[in-house]
Amino acid sequence: MLKMMGRLCFAHKTALAPMVRVGTLPMRLLALDYGADIVYCEVRMDIYTHTCHISVHLNPMHVLETVDFVAPDERVMFRTCSKEKGRVVFQMGTADPERALVVAKLVENDVAAVDVNMGCPKEYSTKGGMGSALLSDPEKIEAILSTLVNGISKPVTCKIRILPTLEDTVNLVKRIEKTGVAAIAVHGRMKEERPRHPVHCDYIQAVAESVSIPVIANGGSSDIVKTFEDIEKFRAAAGASSVMLARAAMWNPSIFRQQGALSVDEVMEDYIRYAVRYDNNPFNTKYCLCQMLRDRVESPFGKRLHAAQTNEEICEVFGMTDFYNKTKAELEARKAALQTNGDQTEQPKHEDDLITMPVRFERRDYPPQITPKMYLLEWSRKEKLDQPVYETEQRTQDRAFQSTVIIDSKKYRSALWEKSKKFAEQAAAIVCLRTLGLPEGRIGEEHSGLVNKRKRDDKKCAALDDSESAARKRHTSEVPQEEEEEMICRTKVVNGVCGQTTG
């Protein structure tokens, strides 16, 4: 059984190793399909991840049905889904126990375990005291792992490289075991060594004999593992409980198939299906496909792939345009259903004089120069009410924003935090408009006439070039920016030392 008493078990398993730019959601799901028991995400640095907010997309109506951990600049730092829940391990790079705990608490409900990278020899890790730099600081290793073990409910593991002497390696691993970690992965090379150097199975075996927790052998892709049967050979040679594969799986993740590996061409098509289905970054998609192509990357086919800039263009290279169009149509239909039924699935919650809903402002869902704030302003004028007042708070820990709009003596707020003050105000306006059953200006929404096109003076109109004029004619409604800015806004910093009011 994969789990023991609800916790991920690391004994007698095969795992997809954490690999930068490779261990994203499509590759992890593909490895699981082919037979991997456990999959690790690419290493995520705590300094970038601790400020993420969680975007939960598990509603069946949602386009992707994923859980996204999104940085303040809106980059998706980690994306997961229900298909891998219970088998995905989140690996972080850290040199700070408290910050590591913040990240671990952020992700623990959506992953099976948390792993600390203590083996990466790359400068981007070691210069911050992370990765293999931790190997020379056992006290910090103990502090990080003990803090995590005591601070979260999920298993904690770590991945190390071996030290210059066998004695030092064994002594370090014994100290690590005392922190309470559930398993330890050992890359059988020293931090100065590279894949061309032979893997030291004797070191891994000595480690496995010195501790009682599962040891996961790593580093055998070049020397030993070429087929599925070789996985067991590596495990036996290293005397380990489990095996973790990096490059062998990167080149062809179907190496996990007990029935034998598939052709790389078939695997690449399977990978593309997941990449399109989960809206994977096209440059990440292309990178992973190029790793599978290996020596064919300079072929005419490889050059066509390298020139592709979008997932659609990648599908064209592989003759999968029909699949792409069908999948995108399904996603768009799901998105349209979500927009149509959004008011029914997200009912407003009343708390005293405050009404909240978990909504987010997505700029791409609205035509240029049309926003929910404009619609709310025009409605208030039509009803002869005081103009909306926005009170905005900013969190100090991640600089995210949350706004409350006050109109007709009632308060409306989104339960979610936004990356900017403007987006937070738009989200509050959406809550108000949806609660009142009013239009908000979304693309595809029937035109209400609430926001009317205003005349520009002849001098300004004459200054518009032809292309700008044509673009403006495509929109049936428009409010000048200065009128949108009429609305009263107040901002304060949550847990901060000062407030700011603007009018």
The mean pLDDT value for 385-414 works out to 90
Q: Examine the domain organization and report whether 403 and 353 are in the same domain.
A: yes
**How far is the C-alpha of 503 from the C-alpha of 501, rounded, in Å?**
7
Q: Which residue, of 212, 227, 260, is where some domain finishes? A: 260
- Give percent of the chain above pLDDT 70: 84
Which domain covers residue 460, as residue numbers? Answer: 349-502
How many CA atoms, within 13 angstroms, populate the side-chain half-sphere of residue 288?
32
Q: Examine the domain organization and report whether 479 and 332 are in the same domain.
A: no
Task: Give the mean pLDDT of the chain.
Answer: 86
Start-to-end CA span in the chain (Å): 62
pLDDT band at 443; cut points 50, 70, 90: confident
pLDDT at residue 358 in the model: 86
Q: Examine the domain organization and report whether 184 and 246 are in the same domain.
A: yes
pLDDT at residue 350 in the model: 84
This prediction's pTM: 0.72
Q: How many domains does the chain have?
A: 3
Q: Examine the domain organization and report whether 123 and 227 are in the same domain.
A: yes
**How far is the C-alpha of 54 from the C-alpha of 106, rounded, in Å?**
8
Instruction: Check whether 411 has a pLDDT greater than 90.
Output: yes
Instruction: Check whether 479 has a pLDDT greater than 60.
Output: no
Which of 33-37, 63-67, 313-317 shows the lowest mean pLDDT across its residues?
Answer: 63-67
Instruction: Check whether 455 has a pLDDT greater than 70.
Output: no
pLDDT at residue 346 in the model: 60
Task: Let me know: does 239 contact 10? Beta carbons within 8 Å.
Answer: no
Q: Examine the domain organization and report whether 317 and 364 are in the same domain.
A: no
Q: Examine the domain organization and report whether 108 and 41 are in the same domain.
A: yes
Q: Examine the domain organization and report whether 104 and 66 are in the same domain.
A: yes
**How far is the C-alpha of 185 from the C-alpha of 216, rounded, in Å?**
4
Read off the pLDDT of residues 178-203 as tens digits, 9 standing for 90 and up: 999 999 999 999 999 998 999 999 99
Q: Examine the domain organization and report whether 328 and 385 are in the same domain.
A: no
Task: Let me know: does 291 contact 22? Beta carbons within 8 Å.
Answer: yes
**How far is the C-alpha of 61 from the C-alpha of 492, rounded, in Å?**
35
pLDDT band at 454; cut points 50, 70, 90: very low
Residue 357: which residues within 8 A CB-CB, separation 6 or more? 346, 347, 348, 349, 414, 415, 430, 431, 434, 435
**Which candidate in 120, 201, 288, 432 is catalytic?**
120
Which of 17-21, 308-312, 392-396, 420-424 shows the lowest mean pLDDT across its residues?
Answer: 392-396
Give the residue among 427, 385, 436 at the shortest CA–CA distance from 409.
Answer: 385
Q: Examine the domain organization and report whether 161 and 40 are in the same domain.
A: yes
- The partner residues of 355 in beta bridges, in order of sequence, read 350, 412
pLDDT winner (highest mean) among 63-72, 86-95, 125-134: 86-95
**How far is the C-alpha of 298 from the C-alpha of 224, rounded, in Å?**
27
Q: Strands, DSSP E only, in 219-261?
A: 242-245
Q: Which residue, of 345, 375, 393, is where some domain finishes? A: 345
Q: Is 119 helix (H, G, I), strand (E, B) or coil?
A: coil
Give yes or no: 498 in active site.
no
Instruction: Check whether 351 has a pLDDT greater than 60.
Output: yes
pLDDT band at 315; cut points 50, 70, 90: very high
pLDDT band at 449; cut points 50, 70, 90: low
Q: Examine the domain organization and report whether 358 and 426 are in the same domain.
A: yes
**How far is the C-alpha of 91 from the C-alpha of 42, rounded, in Å?**
7
Q: Examine the domain organization and report whether 214 and 70 are in the same domain.
A: yes
Give the residue among 401, 407, 443, 439 at the shortest CA–CA distance from 420.
Answer: 401
Pairing of strands 242-245, 215-218: parallel
Q: Which residue, of 260, 279, 302, is where some domain finishes? A: 260
- The partner residues of 183 in beta bridges, in order of sequence, read 157
CATH of the domain at 81: 3.20.20.70
Q: Examine the domain organization and report whether 232 and 358 are in the same domain.
A: no
CATH of the domain at 372: 3.30.160.20
pLDDT band at 340; cut points 50, 70, 90: low
Give the residue among 21, 64, 25 at the shortest CA–CA distance from 43.
Answer: 21
